[in-house]
Each structure stands twice: as structure tokens, then as C-alpha cells.
Structure 1
Amino acid sequence: MSRARVVVVGLGGLGSAALYRLAADLGPGVLGLEQFELGHHRGASQDHSRIIRLAQHQPEYAALARPAYQAWDEIEAESGQRIVTRTGGLVIEDREARRAAATGSRNIEGYTAVFDRFGVDYELLDAAALVDRWPQFRVGGSEQALYQSESGIVDAAKANAVHIALARARGAEIRTHTKVHAVRPDGEGVAVVTDGGTILADRVVVAADAWTNQVLAGTGIQLPLTVLREQVTYYATPHLAEFAPGRFPVFMWHGHHNFYGFPVYGEVATKLGQHMGGDETTADDRSFEPDPVRRKRYAEFVDRHLPRFGGPELYSRTCLYTVPPDQNFVLDRLPAHPQIVVAIGAGHAYKFAALIGGLLTDLALDRAPAHPIDAFTSTRPALTDPAFPRAFHV
């Protein structure tokens, strides 16, 4: 058997960030295990772009938003690589469409109340002011928008690679194509069972996302997680200048469906996705074929509200969301086995990844987390009460 001080299982967004922060603290003796190749497209952390924003509707996330920006600044300073691009960001609520759809409200007032509490600057715009400022949009008149200047893009694929490189520079070892079949408490440590044999570790961080319950099977713990197949589409717009990052912000559109979009970035194309609503699946049974219903829905939204944003479809690509019943993160030690730390991003963690890497390091090294994560325990009712209803935010 080989030995390690800490093993990180899964090297996507959260795992690669934890690997770097652990190596920065401990140096050699930190081991990262990835069952596929680095940068694979089977999970949740692929692709060029994720939205980063201070715009949070829940205080537990707002408390982490500014520290997340600071954590990304630290990674950029150490690596010399640009990871965050500020574009400004819009939250647009089509109130008429949401009323007609009887959609659960995540309204503008919910965001502004949290902004006011945390001292974040913002602007409120009615439909006319929105179009006056960004004539790329077409609106019906019932829309209200919130603009926050610090929103932007985190380059997810690049950030993962940067975290891996920085971890190696600090002495971490990485093994790819190494599937973890189980993690099992072994005294005060953990036995990590892999294709290549068993590794004994003092601590383990499980950042396996859709594979979490497979990895945890040896602990006797199974979390109530739903795996959803989501997708995005890139459009080869011919109007590149209009949708350059300096002229068009990232946006979220809350209407009958909830869409999110990006300026031209990563590809010579714009990008549109829908938050939540994908088919339930599993990590092993999921399809990689995009859903034609969603393709059509995206195209209809673009035609109606952003006609010059569209163009020939460059490609559509799927990814996985792994979601607890309350759609909140899991960042915690297992109560019965505190030498095992579990991270679940719930489909919306990437903007916080650099910060979460440090929080997972705190947990693994038996330190008090540097920022509040009490809302994300593994003992909350959403994870322990079988009758707790699924309440995904839409």
C-alpha cells in the first residue's frame, strides 16, 4: 500500500482548487486522483466560461461572493494568468412571463435586499433603460433589470489547469485514469481503494460530484443527490463587435424559463444556457447528445429577445449538475467519519471554486473554515430527512 497525507478524489473545479490549497499548506504528500483525463467533458467543470457575480439572492452565498473574487485574484497573481474577465452583469426579470408561468419568484427585490445588506453597488433599469443602454436586447415592456459592474466570466477550463499546475509546483502528485472504487475509514485515517491498489491517507477530500455516492459507498453514507443533464449552445454570431466582452455583459433572464448568456468568449461565438430543468440521469448512463427540445427553446428565446446574438450553431454541449434537495452546496466533514470531507457544488459553485478550495483545506486540516459555511453542512434536514421536498431554484 502507498501512503499520502491527503488524497483528493476528483480533479474538476472544486477538486483541483482543493489540491492546490492543500499542497500550498502541506507541500509533498498531497495526492490528486482523477478517473479520466484532466479536462475531460464528462462532469460539470468543462467549457470556457462560467458567470462570476456579486449578485446573490441568498445571504449565505453573498457572504462568500467578495472573498471568492479575492481568491481568484490570488490565483491570478501567483500564476500570472488571467482567469476572470469583468464584463458587468445583468439580472433581467420578465415579470409578466413569470406571473403567467406561476414560476417561483427570485425577483429583483430579493437581489437588491441582499445587495443593500452587503454594501454592493448596483443600478436598477426598467425595460426602456435596458434597451437604451444595450440595444442588442428586444423586450416586451414588463422587464426590470439589475446591473452590477463587477460581474463577469471565470475561464473554467483554464482555471482548472492553473490550479493543477500550481499544485504540482507545490509538490502535489497527480494520477489520472485512476478510478476510486471506495473510500473506507481505517482507524483515524482512510483507505482509498483504486484500480491501482489501496492508498492509506490521513485525510480524504471527495470532490467527485456525480460519482460522489459511488465513492462514499464504503462509508455507509449515501446523500440524496439528483443528477441532471444540462446543456449550452454556442452561436457563431456574425455581429462580433456588438457582443464583445467590453460591449455586452453576462446576463441572467428570469422569465417563463431561466436563461443565462455570455458575450463572445472562448470561441468566436456567443453562448446561451438554461439554468436547471434538464433530464434526470446518472454519471454512467447520461447521454452526451444535446436535447433538441432545448435547442429549439434556446433558438426561440434568441430570435425573440437577442436576434443579433444568434447565428449558425457552432455546437451544443451537455454537462452534469449534481444537486441536493435544497440545491445548496455540501461542504463538510462526514460526522461519523470526520477524516473524510465531501464537496458538492449543486450546479452553481464554479464562481466560488478558488475560495472553496481553501475552505475544503480548512476542513481537511481540522481548522475552522475561514468563511461561514454553516448552511452547507451534511447534517441539515435537506440531507437527513427523507421527507424533505426537492426545492430547486428556478
Structure 2
Amino acid sequence: MIVVGCGGLGSAALYRLARRLGGGVLGLEQFALGHDRGASQDHSRIIRLAQHQRQYAVLAGPAYEAWAEVEAESGQTIVTRTGGLVVEDRVARRDVDTGTRNIEGYTALFDEFGVAYELLDAEELAARWPQFRLDGGEQAVYQSDSGIVDAARANAVHVALARSHGAQVIEHAAVRAVRPDGGGVVVETEGRTYRADRVVVTADAWTNQVLEACGLRLPLTVTQEQVTYYATPHLAEFSPARFPVFMWHGEHNFYGFPVYGEVATKLGQHMGGHETTATTRTFEPDPVRRKRYAAFVEQHLPRFGGPELYTKTCLYTVPPDQDFVLDTLPEHPQITVAVGAGHAYKFAALIGQLLARLALDERPEHPIDAFSLTRPALTDPTFARTFHV
């Protein structure tokens, strides 16, 4: 069994397969482990039960369970619960909201899945977290299980656990082609050709390049996103014990973290980046978004800010409906493929488990039909992009 790409999803699949198969698993990574060229580097990602689409709400609880299994086996802390807010600036959203991402969408699924939450108006939100400066038209939902999953640590833990079960990992082994070979698969790198019964492709922005020899080209959009760390002087106010992770839905959709990983707070914008490719992307931050972040902080979280520690970029690889891809190739079921769509990391430990079952020709434990390769978003060339921004 070969896993192509050892980032967030690939390292999780590598671990789950090695746990099942022992030494018959090989991971191929085109760069060094822990590189910053893809989607799953950096210290922190938001993990949350708050979902506005049912296909993700049904996976949210099991994702926490999967992370807990990894923590239990490794003895490492990966998930830090801070509580989490979804804040809707209803005045700012009035001109841009499509109705797909509002407070009622979250609470309806909370109610369906029996998740405890609190609804807060602007006055209640400001009383509880005076770090926010509000205009009065905001509404928020708070869920106490939200928090941070440490992406860089989790990737390293998954690789270490995979090795402990007998897996091998080869770095600087760029895969040039994956091609079916009878009932098996040939995997070609620059220096060597490998053969395996089955392959899991978790190459994200490089997916189409890797799968070209299979006759498959997915309609994927790659965007260059960025986050900024602020060296706030108000560390105690923004410690994980005193300030939650948050998402802010207004004219733009921001997300933020308390002080974690760096001695700094962190802010990003969901789906705010320009289109690029894995080979033409730059590592240069967009000054327009830097200014946009700074303006949001000044207006709504003035003590969250401080000198900019740094701004770093990453890639989103997104199908037209912004949903994951988790499936085997219809004509070549010995090849499994996953694409994270720019929002998979919170589910990574669970996705690794799901990919292992797909690769072993077993029925996944949780529903993933929405992430099929045969859905219209991937097969109908007239399907319009419907990104949730």
C-alpha cells in the first residue's frame, strides 16, 4: 500500500493503514516532512462541532473521537478546547449573505445532533468577551467544545505513529505519475518506480498532475490564502483560557485564534485569496488582505492586534461545490483519492480512517456519499462554482 503525499490527510491515512497492515505501507512525500508548500502546515486549525451543512455535521463528533484515539496512543496533546464563537454581523451581511451560512443554519444542526450551545446578542457577547468591540447588530452562537487542533504537531504525530507500526516514509520523492496496472498500481517518481496493490492519493494541489495518467482531471480551483500573527501586548486577555476561537461573518468572513503556537494572536480570511497553481503560487502575502485584516482588528478587536509578527501563505484546493473528495476511482478502484477543499483539517484524523477503509475495500463507518467522484460538481462541466465565502 502506498500513500502519495504526507500532509494532513496523507499522514493520517498512513497511520491508519500502518495500524492495520504493519510494515506493508509506504508514504511518499515530494518535499521534506513538515514543509510549508501545501495546505496543512502551521500551528493551529479550528476544530468545531459548529457546521452549517449536514454532511459535515454528521462527521464532526466522530472527528473528535478520532483525534482522541491519536492522542491516547501517542501521549501527545493535539486538541485544545477553547470554546468557539460564530459571530454574524447582520448589518454587514445584509448585502452579501446568500442565506447559506447564518446562525440559524448552525443551530438547526446543533438541535438535530443534540449539541449544547448558547445564543448571544451583541450585548451578551460584549459582556462575556469585552475584547470585542461591537456595533450592536451582531448575533453569536457559542459552543464550548470548539478549539484548536495543532496541525504541525498532528502531522508529525501521525507519521511517528505510522512508523511505530512499521510504515516507511521517503521524503523528497516527487510522484510523477500514478497509473493502473492490471489490478494493481504503478507509482513513478523521478528516481524509482514502485508497484503496489493499492494507492491512496492525498496530493491536494498536485492531485491532477499525479492522476493525469489515470485519465482523470478534476475541476479544482487552487487559491493562495494567508494568515497574520500579531504580537499582541495583551497576552493574558487572549490566552486560550480566556478567549475562544471565532468565525466572523460580515462583509468578509474572518476567523481568529487566541495566543497559541507563537506568542501572538492569529487572524485569517476564509476564501479570500487569488487563484493560482501549485507551481506558480508565490509565498508573498497580499498587501490588500493585510490591510483588510488590520482594519478588522482595529474596528472589532483592538487589543487583539499589535506589531505584525509575520504573515504566511498556504494553498486551498477546492472543487466547484467546495465539498471534499473522498472516493475510489470508478474505473480503477485500487486508487483512492482525497481532496480537502480548504476546510478538511479539523476532520483529518477521521478522514485518515475513512481513506484506510476505502483503500482496503471496506465500507466507511460514516456517510461520505456527498464526497463522491461521480457527483455533478465533478462530472457536469456546466456546474457553477458555489463557494461558501
Note the alpha carbon deviations across 1:230-283, whole angstroms, 9 max, x for none: 000000000000000000000000000000000000000000000002100000
Give the 3-state SS of the residue equivalent to 2:95 in structure 1: helix
Cα offset, 1:193, TM superposition: 0.6
For the pair 1:90 / 2:123, whether they are aligned, the reply is no
Tell me the distance in 1 between the aligned counterparts of 2:183 and 2:137: 59
2:199 is aligned to 204
Letter in 2 for 1:150: D
Cα offset, 1:100, TM superposition: 3.1
Tell me the distance in 2 between the aligned counterparts of 1:228 and 1:248: 29
- 1:13 maps to which of 8, 12, 20: 8
2:310 is aligned to 315
Note the alpha carbon deviations across 1:61-86, whole angstroms, 9 max, x for none: 01100100000000000000000000
- 2:145 maps to which of 147, 150, 163: 150
Cα offset, 1:102, TM superposition: 5.0
For the pair 1:48 / 2:34, whether they are aligned, the reply is no
Q: 1:83 to 1:371 in 2, by over 3 A?
A: same
Matches within 5 A, 1:22-101: 22-101=17-96
Give the 3-state SS of the residue equivalent to 2:36 in structure 1: coil
TM-score (norm 1): 0.98
- 1:167 maps to which of 130, 144, 162: 162
2:331 is aligned to 336
For the pair 1:261 / 2:261, whether they are aligned, the reply is no
1:298 is aligned to 293
In structure 1, runs of 5+ residues without a counterpart are 1-5
Corresponding residue pairs, total = 389
- 1:246 maps to which of 241, 244, 254: 241
Note the alpha carbon deviations across 1:343-392, whole angstroms, 9 max, x for none: 00000000000000000000000000011111100000000000000000
2:224 is aligned to 229
Letter in 2 for 1:336: E
* Identical counterparts, % of pairs: 77
Note the alpha carbon deviations across 1:17-69, whole angstroms, 9 max, x for none: 00000000000110000000000000000000000000000111011001000
1:3 is aligned to none
Tell me the distance in 1 between the aligned counterparts of 2:79 and 2:101: 26
In structure 2, runs of 5+ residues without a counterpart are none
Detail structure 1 runs of 4+ shifted over 4 Å in the superposition: 102-105
Cα offset, 1:103, TM superposition: 5.2
Tell me the distance in 2 between the aligned counterparts of 1:349 and 1:268: 26
1:393 is aligned to 388
Give the 3-state SS of the residue equivalent to 1:193 in structure 2: strand
CA RMSD of aligned residues (A): 0.7
Q: 1:180 to 1:89 in 2, by over 3 A?
A: same
Give the 3-state SS of the residue equivalent to 2:161 in structure 1: helix
Tell me the distance in 1 between the aligned counterparts of 2:155 and 2:259: 21
Tell me the distance in 2 between the aligned counterparts of 1:290 and 1:111: 32
Tell me the distance in 1 between the aligned counterparts of 2:35 and 2:99: 34
Q: 1:164 to 1:102 in 2, by over 3 A?
A: closer
TM-score (norm 2): 0.99
